[in-house]
Amino acid sequence: MGDVAANWQAVQGRIVKAAARVGRDFQGIRVIAVSKTVPGERIQEAIEAGVTDVGENRVQEARQKIEVLGRGCRWHMIGHLQHNKVKYIFDLFDVVHSVDSVDLARVIDREGRRRSRTMEVLIQVKLGGEETKSGLEPSELLTTLEEMTLLPFLSIRGLMVIPPFFSNPEESRPFFRQLRQIREGIMSRGIHGISLEELSMGMSHDFEVAVEEGATMVRIGTAIFGPRTL
Ligand SMILES: *Cc1c(COP(=O)(O)O)cnc(C)c1O
């Protein structure tokens, strides 16, 4: 077995265990294999090992890979999306994790209208204060979501967070918990047309904690493909 296949199995085993610790069904957790900087052959290996969802953070890089690998797996856009790249996303991605403004949501909706296609999106939330990461502030989330429900070619499926990096994964836990609580708060208000089932949170160093806190999508690069060299 190649290293990618072995890593993939190890990651799955760890997810099964983390889910069991909190009484969750591991089948409710989707692993996004994050393949930025990873060459196509390694991604193909992962797909052959059973990976069904692949994540990229740059449109151009994703485009080159998808041309070769095709869309037999689900492709996720997990990085910041520039407005001028939105015209490509419907041909490339199944889900965009990183909608971080109403303006971006509107541009996606407009492109969807042109093509009569709906894009599944997650809303990126900024937790952790002075970090320069993109995302909506929790305080502006509710009004923003209400505006976004008026965009028919956008299917808002959930929330996404990238907490600050901590070497101790336990330090990520409050951020994951906060995202789940924000989701629950919004769901309890029952905004028409929004269900927010998905929580995209957890990376190689902290995905088990994220699973314990309710992640439905974990975005894992290094633990599957090894350290990035670029
Ligand atoms: C790179 C990246 C990941 C995966 O990071 P690893 O630490 O390699 O697992 C997850 N999410 C986003 C948004 C990323 O850019």
Q: Which atom of ligand 1 is nearest to the CA of 57?
A: 15
Give residue 190's pLDDT.
81
Give residue 131's pLDDT.
59
Spatial separation of the C-alpha atoms in residues 221 and 33, rounded to whole Å: 6
Quick one: tokens of 223?
Answer: 């633990």
The predicted-structure confidence for 95-148, as pLDDT tens digits, reads as follows: 999 999 999 999 999 999 999 999 999 999 999 866 567 899 999 999 999 999
pLDDT for 66 beyond 70: yes
Question: Is the Cβ atom of 34 under 6 angstroms away from ligand 1?
Answer: yes
The predicted-structure confidence for 180-229, as pLDDT tens digits, reads as follows: 999 999 998 888 778 899 999 999 999 999 999 999 999 999 999 999 97
Question: Which residue lies with its CA nearest to atom 7 of ligand 1?
Answer: 204
Residue 82: φ, ψ to 5°:
-80, 145
Give residue 191's pLDDT.
80
Question: Is the Cβ atom of 92 under 6 angstroms away from ligand 1?
Answer: no
pTM given for the model: 0.96
Question: Is the Cβ atom of 32 under 6 angstroms away from ligand 1?
Answer: no
Give residue 132's pLDDT.
61
Ligand 1 mean position to 142 CA, how many Å?
27
Read off the amino acid at residue 85.
K
The predicted-structure confidence for 16-59, as pLDDT tens digits, reads as follows: 999 999 999 999 999 999 999 999 999 999 999 999 999 999 99
Give residue 129's pLDDT.
64
Least Cα distance to 29 among 37, 40, 21 occurs for: 21
Q: Which atom of ligand 1 is nearest to the CA of 225?
A: 8
Helices (H), 2-121: 3-21, 40-49, 59-69, 86-92, 102-115
Question: Is the Cβ atom of 200 under 6 angstroms away from ligand 1?
Answer: no
- The residue with greater pLDDT, 192 or 73, is 73
Q: Which atom of ligand 1 is nearest to the CA of 78?
A: 13
Spatial separation of the C-alpha atoms in residues 180 and 169, rounded to whole Å: 17
